[in-house]
Amino acid sequence: MAKQVVVLGADNERTRNLMGRYRTLVAQNGDAVDLKFVNADGGPDRIVQESRDAIAIIPAMPRVLTTDVVRQLPNLKLIQTTSAGTDWIDKPAVYELGVKVANNGGGNRVAVSEHTITLMVAAYRKLDHQIRSAKSGQWSSDVPGVPEDFHTLEEKTVGIVGLGRIGRAVAKRLQGWDCEIVYNDVIDIPKEVEQELHASRLSLDELLAASDVVTLHVPLEQTTYHMISEREFGLMKKTAILINACRGPVVDEPALIEALEAGQIAGAALDVLEQEPTRPDNPLLSMQNVVVTPHNASRAIESMLTSTKFAIENVSRLARGEEPDSLVPPV
């Protein structure tokens, strides 16, 4: 007998299209799931009332699924996100209630890794200024910097903080760019992965001191909040650039602004900020040595297709009595 899985979201055309895709994927996975849409705009009481039989919830509007709502769903076993980040979920609390959390299984790893490398090149070659200059008719007369301010990735050391699915995808795509890859992670990485990616493990302090480019690929948890702050910027090369395409609060933003203004590091390229949307007067938006994109690194149709496919495969595993994949630890 099929087990109920709830898709929690807004009642709009985008969600209706998503439900159509989900139903196709359910059929492809043996119809182990009875899929139900619940309108998140109905409020927590309505969500609880309509989701009591659900063994899993796929939140399309994530932040409406609170711990209090989870506490009132006696059959719930899994929160299945279609994003890599799960920082909006109080995972220790929901795990205590017997509910596990799974992310998208790296469904956005290709898009985010490509965007990450694009940010590296954009920062090194001042692509934001070049594009603006050409489109404004100035051609290049107002592009800031002398030739010594423009760089290639060749022979640079790229330090990857977090060699998970996205970090590995970045390392894989840097093969052939003739740069040295070092990494740091809190978990042990198999030697064969290091060899395949030509990546050498360093302590975080060693990585920060050695790298020309530091790129962050860690989840936002209590242990990673402001993990890059004043002390860490003090360890970095004055010629280094920081790339952040994971979560904004991993970086202490005031400390980053201070480091950039003081010349402690040479620049930054950021897809994420501590507050999103950020305020218009955020100094990072007007700094000539900072590239900012609006948290769109994963924005690609391929990311959606892969992540939704994984989500239905994973809840179908649960419905068949199997252990779901890509579970996120309760930290």
Which of 23, 226, 295, 299 is catalytic? The answer is: 295
How is residue 257 written in tokens?
């602004």
- Give the C-alpha distances (Å, rounded to integers) separating 70 from 33, 59, 117, 145, 197: 20, 12, 38, 53, 40
Is the separation of the CB atoms in 322 and 78 below 8 Å?
Answer: no
The total of other beta-carbon atoms located within 10 Å of residue 261's CB is 11
Calculate the alpha carbon distances from 73 to 257, 268, 277, 297 in Å.
Answer: 44, 44, 32, 34
Q: Do residues 111 and 167 make contact, with C-beta atoms less than 8 angstroms apart?
A: no
Query: Is 247 part of the annotated catalytic residue set?
Result: yes
Set 129, 217, 247, 317: catalytic member: 247
Write down the catalytic residue from 96, 155, 196, 276: 276
Helix/strand/coil for 225? coil
State yes or no: is 115 an active-site residue.
no
Catalytic residue list contains 276? yes
Cα(187)–Cα(21) distance, rounded to whole angstroms? 36
Q: What is the DSSP letter of 190?
A: P
CB contact burial 217-234 (16+ within 10 A = b; e otherwise): bbbbbeebeebbbeebbe
Q: Which residues face 101 on adjacent strands? A: 79
Catalytic positions, written as ranges: 247, 276, 295
